[in-house]
Amino acid sequence: MKNIVILGATGSIGTNTLDIIQRFPDQFQILGLTAKSSDEKLESLIKAFRPKVVALQDEVAAMALAQRLSKTKVEVLSGENGILAVAQLSEADLVISAIVGAAGLLPTLSAIRAKKTVAVANKEPLVMAGEIIKKEAAFNGVSILPIDSEHSAIFQVLNGERHQDIQRIILTASGGPLLRLSNDEKTQISPEVALAHPNWKMGPKISIDSATLMNKGLEIIEAKWLFDLPAGKIDVVIHPESIVHSMVEFIDRSVVAQLGLPDMRTPISYVLHYPERIPLSLPSLDLAEVGTLTFEKPDTKAFPLLTTAYAALEGGGSLPAVLNAANEEAVKAFLDKRIHFGTITKVIQQTLEAHRPNAIKTLDDVLEADRWARIEGKRWIKKDTNS
């Protein structure tokens, strides 16, 4: 019996993870769950999965939930410290890190420091602080398992292979809902249109990142740390059908790819049972039915953020953290309808231009870069709103 903790249990990854777990009651037990503020959604999960401890970031929501659960044995924690406590529960075997954005950084690091195997679904912590996370994981003898469909694909393919035999990895990108629009058409797009991903049902942040291709930009940085590869060995190809989840080319020109219908339950089940697989009664991929798979080079004029992300990856230091923070602020402003879609790119690029890159040696360096970039990003957002 494996004891599972889910950080960010009420989101898309959390829900899909619980869907798998309820199929195998003899193999997995939910030990802890966390959420930001959805106390009612968390309460229904508590009834279904009977965790020992839960935490809500929002103190008010936590108090309300604690009151409603006062006659049960479930412990309700609150705030940042509550989340960190759940991330470190001593009986946990596997921590699923699925808190959206930079907010996932400290909980992920806490789990690693508590010597837990961590499955990461949120790419932002690795983008911001990849070097620190990798060092901590090595120091604590902890494995980091990817859940993101692209990184799971590469992780599955690399199973049984030697690192030195990798020629390059090729991340596939659907191109998102705006793939065929001109830059002019995109500028005026509403959040509702940008949120409508053609293949994947995901949360709002990652859906907008897919529409700008920043999601792929974050993924190349994530891949650098997960697979210990330089930028020159990380390629991106547009594949609108989202059937090939990613590929590895080896030094003998053999390319191995992982494919499947777009369903996060397959990569989630892989980390739950790694290195073995569990049988899932999900629809089977029928390529004859799919018929056609297409591939094209990314249009870096239409999607300049991919180039921006490569530059941040190559520049290193504080640049990826700044890229990530500026992006988070810009996406939030776009979802709130404070800026146009086209302004997301401008905010990120202007913030990066204004930044003087620093080396990242400690967690504080990361948090400082993140803090600075949010202030700077907000300044550009405000400027744009006023203009």
Question: Which positions touch its own copies (CB under 8 A)?
Answer: 156-157, 159-162, 165, 167, 170, 237-239, 244, 247, 249-261, 263, 266-267, 269-270, 275-280, 282-285, 287-288, 290-297
Cβ–Cβ under 8 Å, residues 130 and 225: yes
CB-wise, 61 or 145, nearer to its own copies?
A: 145
CB-wise, 160 or 232, nearer to its own copies?
A: 160
Q: How far is the CB of 293 from its own copies (least distance, A)?
A: 4
Backbone angles phi, psi at 112, to 5 degrees: -65, -45
CB-wise, 15 or 167, nearer to its own copies?
A: 167
Cβ–Cβ under 8 Å, residues 134 and 160: no
Cβ–Cβ under 8 Å, residues 355 and 372: yes
Q: How far is the CB of 236 from its own copies (least distance, A)?
A: 10
Q: How far is the CB of 222 from its own copies (least distance, A)?
A: 20
In angstroms, rounded to a whole number, what is the distance separating the alpha carbons of residues 221 and 219? Answer: 5
| Residue at 154: amino acid letter | I
In angstroms, rounded to a whole number, what is the distance separating the alpha carbons of residues 344 and 205? Answer: 12
In angstroms, rounded to a whole number, what is the distance separating the alpha carbons of residues 156 and 366? Answer: 30
Q: How far is the CB of 25 from its own copies (least distance, A)?
A: 18
CB-wise, 131 or 235, nearer to its own copies?
A: 235
In angstroms, rounded to a whole number, what is the distance separating the alpha carbons of residues 349 and 47? Answer: 46
In angstroms, rounded to a whole number, what is the distance separating the alpha carbons of residues 324 and 81? Answer: 24
Sheet holding 144-146, edge to edge: 75-78, 53-56, 28-35, 2-7, 94-97, 117-120, 144-146
CB-wise, 73 or 297, nearer to its own copies?
A: 297
Pairing between β-strand 28-35 and β-strand 53-56 as defined by DSSP bridges: parallel
Q: How far is the CB of 151 from its own copies (least distance, A)?
A: 14
In angstroms, rounded to a whole number, what is the distance separating the alpha carbons of residues 357 and 351? Answer: 11
Contacts of 112 (CB under 8 A, 6+ apart): 118, 133, 136, 137, 140, 142, 144
What separation, in Å, do the N-terminal and C-terminal C-alpha atoms of the chain show?
58
Q: How far is the CB of 153 from its own copies (least distance, A)?
A: 9
Q: How far is the CB of 366 from its own copies (least distance, A)?
A: 34
CB-wise, 25 or 47, nearer to its own copies?
A: 25
In angstroms, rounded to a whole number, what is the distance separating the alpha carbons of residues 114 and 326? Answer: 30
CB-wise, 71 or 297, nearer to its own copies?
A: 297
CB-wise, 264 or 333, nearer to its own copies?
A: 264
CB-wise, 60 or 278, nearer to its own copies?
A: 278
Q: How far is the CB of 18 from its own copies (least distance, A)?
A: 17
Q: How far is the CB of 240 from its own copies (least distance, A)?
A: 11
Element (H, E) at 56: strand 53-56
Q: At what angle do helices 214-227 and 204-212 cross, to 10 degrees?
A: 100
Q: How far is the CB of 165 from its own copies (least distance, A)?
A: 4
CB-wise, 227 or 380, nearer to its own copies?
A: 227
Q: What is the CA radius of gyration of the chain?
A: 20
